Amino acid sequence: MIEIEGLTKRFGDVTAVEGLTLRVEDGEVFGFLGPNGAGKTTTVRMLACLISKTSGTASIDGYDIGKSADVQKIRKTIGLLPESVGMYDDLSAYKNLDYYGRLYECSEDQRRERIEHFLRLLGLWEKRDVAAGTFSKGMKQKLAIARALIHDPKVLFLDEPTANLDPESAKTVRDFILDLKKERRTIFINTHNLDEAEKVCDRVGILKTRLVAMGATKQLLESLWGRKTVILLTKVDDAIVSAVKRLGPRSVEVDGNRIVVDVGDPALDNPRMVDVIVAAGGRIQGVTELLPSLEDVYLRLVRS
């Protein structure tokens, strides 16, 4: 659905995005993670044909972002939630959506049905006749999400979809994204919210001008963090640590009465460690796996 090859954007001497190559499949929810200035928003703006690329290629649903003849076709294919939502403050929530529906040449019946559907799902139906300018930042954000969907796009770009939202509203939006996911809609999300990315994305990419890492969350965690076993004992001494090290793990760390060991296959390695620890006089209180979060991996990558 989205194919990117060597995509680069420079602003004068500053390279915002360099050599980006990735593919987002039809019906996939893809999350783009990265610190401020990493190039996430610049990438989305190029894909949405809002700014030109410097080099490389990218296509959406077969349409080339570099071809002027394809630009309008791409804009009809995609929905976009930008960083700045930009509503018409004097118009009501309903009239804002109706206006954009007309721009996308949606029929009157389509506009009426979709406006009510999305405003109800996002908890704004009771505010449909209220001027958008009186809305809180969070309410405007939800209205902008509805606007991005008014023409029923195949591809949806969401730039920080839960920014400015309180926890309850953020959950409403996350649940909404999961509902969209069930419709097999292709969704591309820029987010700083790593918990959000873990919950809604099929795959994530970590961007720092260049693509640093990419994969399914679980795959990414295991490939970049490895698997670790934590063994809790009544007491850790040198004999126990030496016995574990003789098994040849990549790393053995001692933290009080805990030993943290890098393992390849816990099903095979853990019983061996238990046996040598007991043979060395250790008394084991528990054996668990140390599970990193996406935040752990993200911080390791962006700080390197």
If one compares 256 and 227, the residue with the highest pLDDT of the two is 256
| DSSP string over 35-85 | -TTSSHHHHHHHHTTSS--SEEEEEETTEETT-HHHHHHHHHHEEEE-SS-
Q: Indicate whether 132 pLDDT > 90.
A: yes
Q: What is the pLDDT of residue 224?
A: 65
Q: What is the pLDDT of residue 265?
A: 85
Question: pLDDT band at residue 6, thresholds of 50, 70 and 90?
Answer: very high
> Model's pTM, two decimal places?
0.79
Q: Indicate whether 64 pLDDT > 70.
A: yes
Return d(Cα 89, Cα 96) in angstroms, integer. Answer: 9
Q: Indicate whether 164 pLDDT > 80.
A: no
Q: What is the pLDDT of residue 223?
A: 67
Q: What is the pLDDT of residue 198?
A: 82
**Count of CA atoms in the C-beta half-sphere (13 A) of 203:** 13
Name the average pLDDT for the chain: 90
Average pLDDT over residues 133-147: 91
Q: Indicate whether 50 pLDDT > 70.
A: yes
Q: Indicate whether 300 pLDDT > 80.
A: no
Return d(Cα 242, Cα 254) in angstroms, integer. Answer: 11
For 27-43, what is each residue's pLDDT tens digit? 999 999 888 888 999 99
Q: Indicate whether 295 pLDDT > 80.
A: no
Q: Indicate whether 112 pLDDT > 80.
A: yes
Q: Indicate whether 296 pLDDT > 80.
A: no
Average pLDDT over residues 205-223: 83
Cα–Cα distance list, 144 to 24, 108, 246 (Å): 23, 20, 59
Question: pLDDT band at residue 86, thresholds of 50, 70 and 90?
Answer: confident
Q: Indicate whether 304 pLDDT > 70.
A: no
Q: What is the pLDDT of residue 42?
A: 96
Average pLDDT over residues 43-62: 96
Q: Indicate whether 111 pLDDT > 90.
A: yes
Q: Which domains does the chain have, with CATH numbers?
A: 2-215 (3.40.50.300), 226-292 (3.30.70.100)
Beta bridge partners of 232: 258, 286
Average pLDDT over residues 67-86: 92
Residue 142: phi, psi to the nearest 5?
Answer: -65, -35
Beta bridge partners of 253: 260
Q: What is the pLDDT of residue 107?
A: 96
For 276-294, what is each residue's pLDDT tens digit? 999 999 999 999 987 766 7
Q: What is the pLDDT of residue 163?
A: 77
Neighbours of 208 (CB within 10 A): 18
Q: Helix or strand or coil: residue 190?
A: strand
If one compares 84 and 102, the residue with the highest pLDDT of the two is 102
Average pLDDT over residues 141-164: 91
